[in-house]
């Protein structure tokens, strides 16, 4: 799950970003409305956390602009003001929910989960290939019904592979999505993580799901 956080107060942005990463979300951060709009238009997000008071373009304007462009990603507005008028303005501009600052992180998480769940009612909560299951909402992974403990990076990597089952995923795609940076071609960080993941997912199972495509990358599939 990939979330865009648009928040100009660095301390709050860092706090939210760190908390969400611990909960295995992929997080991009923008510190002003203009950059937020730009990122929201070019990247596919599952959710946008949008502060109202922002430099350059304010949150309400960002929201309106995204809806005008038919980007229907769920938006949770973060507002410092506890005024009914602001909430109504926010919701009228196309936001799905709002949360008043200051808030408890648990409250933010609960709202995020609720929005993601609502968004996914007609989609799926669970990704499945062979007997491997991944729950997109509580981030639980099971193989043959048995729970598998993954680190945050391993989870994000596996979720990415499972969202692109039967497609070759290059190292560049993985480094951009999971690490959000380009590794030079000699780096073996990805291969090391794939090895860990294989050990947890495939080891001891007759059917191997993670396959290496020599010179290209990896593919998650249910056969040789
Ligand atoms: Ca602000």
Residue ranges of the domains in the chain? 2-119, 126-220
Per-residue pLDDT band for 182 (boundaries 50, 70, 90) equals low
2-119 CATH fold: Rossmann fold (3.40.50)
Question: What pLDDT, on a 0 to 100 scale, did the predictor assign at position 185?
Answer: 54
Question: What pLDDT, on a 0 to 100 scale, did the predictor assign at position 163?
Answer: 85
Asked if omega into 12 is within 30° of 0 (cis), the reply is: no
Question: What pLDDT, on a 0 to 100 scale, did the predictor assign at position 131?
Answer: 95
Residue 172 clears pLDDT 90, i.e. is over it: no
Q: Tell me the mean pLDDT in the region 57-75.
A: 93
Q: Tell me the mean pLDDT in the region 211-218.
A: 90
Distance 118 CA to ligand 1 centre (A): 27
pLDDT per residue as tens digits for the range 8-22: 999 999 999 999 999
Residue 173 clears pLDDT 60, i.e. is over it: yes
Non-local (6+) Cβ contacts of 92 within 8 A are none
Q: Give the CA count within 13 Å in the CB-facing half-sphere of 182.
A: 3
Distance 203 CA to ligand 1 centre (A): 48
pLDDT per residue as tens digits for the range 24-56: 999 999 999 999 999 999 998 999 999 999 999
Question: What pLDDT, on a 0 to 100 scale, did the predictor assign at position 87?
Answer: 66
Distance 174 CA to ligand 1 centre (A): 32
Q: Which residue has the higher pLDDT, 194 or 216?
A: 194
Question: What pLDDT, on a 0 to 100 scale, did the predictor assign at position 175?
Answer: 83
Distance 1 CA to ligand 1 centre (A): 24
Question: Quick one: the chain helix, strand, coil %, rounded to 5?
Answer: 40, 20, 40
Residue 89 clears pLDDT 80, i.e. is over it: no
**Mind spelling out the 3-state secondary structure of 102-122?**
CCCHHHHHHHHHHHHHHHCCC
Q: How far is CA 141 from CA 70, 90, 149, 219, in A?
A: 33, 36, 7, 18
Distance 21 CA to ligand 1 centre (A): 21
Distance 14 CA to ligand 1 centre (A): 13
Distance 75 CA to ligand 1 centre (A): 16
Question: What pLDDT, on a 0 to 100 scale, did the predictor assign at position 83?
Answer: 62
Distance 210 CA to ligand 1 centre (A): 43
pLDDT per residue as tens digits for the range 188-203: 888 899 999 999 999 9
Question: 126-220 in CATH: which number?
Answer: 1.10.10.10
Distance 26 CA to ligand 1 centre (A): 22
Q: Which long-range contacts (CB under 8 A, 24 or more apart) does 98-107 make?
A: 101/12, 103/78, 105/15, 105/16, 105/19
Distance 73 CA to ligand 1 centre (A): 21
Question: What pLDDT, on a 0 to 100 scale, did the predictor assign at position 178?
Answer: 83
Distance 87 CA to ligand 1 centre (A): 15
Q: Dihedral (C-alpha) 9, 136, 39, 186: value to the nearest 10 degrees?
A: 100
């Amino acid at each position: 799950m990939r979330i865009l956080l648009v928040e100009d107060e660095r301390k709050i942005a860092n706090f939210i970003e760190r908390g969400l990463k611990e909960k295995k979300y992929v997080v991009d951060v923008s510190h002003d409305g203009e950059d937020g709009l730009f990122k929201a238009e070019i990247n596919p997000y599952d959710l946008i956390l949008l502060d109202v008071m922002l430099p350059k373009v304010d949150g309400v304007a960002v929201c309106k602009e995204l809806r005008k462009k038919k980007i229907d990603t769920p938006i949770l507005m973060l507002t410092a003001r506890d005024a009914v008028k602001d909430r109504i303005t926010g919701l009228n501009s196309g936001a799905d929910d709002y949360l008043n600052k200051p808030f408890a992180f648990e409250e933010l998480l609960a709202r995020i989960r609720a929005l993601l769940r609502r968004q996914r009612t007609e989609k799926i909560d669970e990704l499945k290939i062979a007997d491997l299951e991944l729950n997109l909402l509580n981030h639980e992974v099971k193989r043959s019904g048995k729970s598998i403990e993954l680190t945050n990076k391993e989870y994000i990597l596996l979720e990415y592979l499972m969202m692109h089952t039967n497609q070759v995923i290059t190292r560049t795609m993985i480094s951009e999505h999971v690490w959000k940076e380009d590794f030079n071609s000699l780096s073996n960080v990805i291969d090391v993580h794939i090895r860990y993941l294989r050990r947890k997912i495939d080891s001891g199972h007759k059917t191997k799901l993670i396959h290496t495509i020599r010179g290209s990358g990896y593919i998650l599939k249910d056969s040789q």
